[in-house]
Amino acid sequence: MIIFLYSIAAAAVLICVPFLLVAYARARIEYEMFSTPGAMFDKLPPYAQQGTWAHQNTFEAFLIFAAAALIAYVSGVNYLTGQLAAIAFVVARFRYSIFYILNIPLLR
């Protein structure tokens, strides 16, 4: 049952993975661009723009997953299927972010 809690923690960490790439790209942009974040987004390279969208999408998916995993944990679900589904979600979200940033729609 603890797998549900670990998978929630791992999914929360995965929220930051795409943004690390975005932060790197933002750090390479001139300092004056920080006063206008909208204009800064347009100046980001394509991989950083994709990373921003992957980051935002991961938030949306995390909320639904965290609620479902918490309900499974609190209700005492101890089925192997549920635990495997929680692990599969974390792995799939990691792969989703990578393929989103690499702009490979078929694999995401």
Write the pLDDT tens digit of every residue in 55-84: 889 989 999 999 999 998 898 877 888 899
pLDDT for res 33: 58
Residues of the chain scoring pLDDT < 70: 30-38
Cα–Cα distance list, 56 to 3, 5, 32, 75, 97 (Å):
25, 22, 25, 30, 10
pLDDT for res 107: 85
pLDDT for res 79: 85
Q: What is the mean pLDDT of the chain?
A: 86
pLDDT for res 13: 92
